[in-house]
Amino acid sequence: MQTLTPAIRVSDEVRAAIDAGAPVLALESTILSHGLPAPRNLEVGLAAEQQVRDAGVVPATIGVVDGIAVVGLSPAEIERLCTSGDVVKVSVRDLPIARAKALDGGTTVAATAWLAYRAGIRVMSTGGLGGVHRGASETFDESADLGTLATTPITLVSAGVKSILDIGATLERLETLNVPVVGYRTDRFPGFYVADSGFALDYRIEGAADAAELARARDELGLASAVLVANPVDEALQLDPAFHDRVLGEALAAASEAGITGHDTTPFLLDHVQRATGGRSLEVNLEVYRGNVALGAEIARAVAG
Please identify which of the residues 49, 77, 162, 298 carries the catalytic annotation: 162
Q: How far is CA 110 from CA 48, 107, 284, in A?
A: 20, 8, 23
Query: Rounded to whole angstroms, how far apart are CA atoms 99 and 303?
Result: 32
User: Is 138 labeled as catalytic in the residue annotation?
Assistant: no
Reference 95, options 120, 70, 58; nearest CA is: 70
CB atoms within 10 A of CB 243: 14
Please identify which of the residues 28, 49, 77, 287 carries the catalytic annotation: 28
Q: Go through 141-171 and write b for each residue having 16 or more CB atoms within 10 A of its CB, e for each that does not.
A: bbbbbbebbbbbbbbbbbbbbbbbbbbebbb
User: Is 162 labeled as catalytic in the residue annotation?
Assistant: yes
Taking CA 146 as the corner, what is the angle to CA 2 and CA 287, rounded to the nearest 5 degrees? 95
237 CB burial (10 A radius; 0-12, 13-18, 19+): middle
28 three-state secondary structure: coil
Asked if residue 39 has a cis previous peptide bond (ω within 30° of 0), the answer is: yes
User: Which amino acids are annotated catalytic?
Assistant: 28, 162
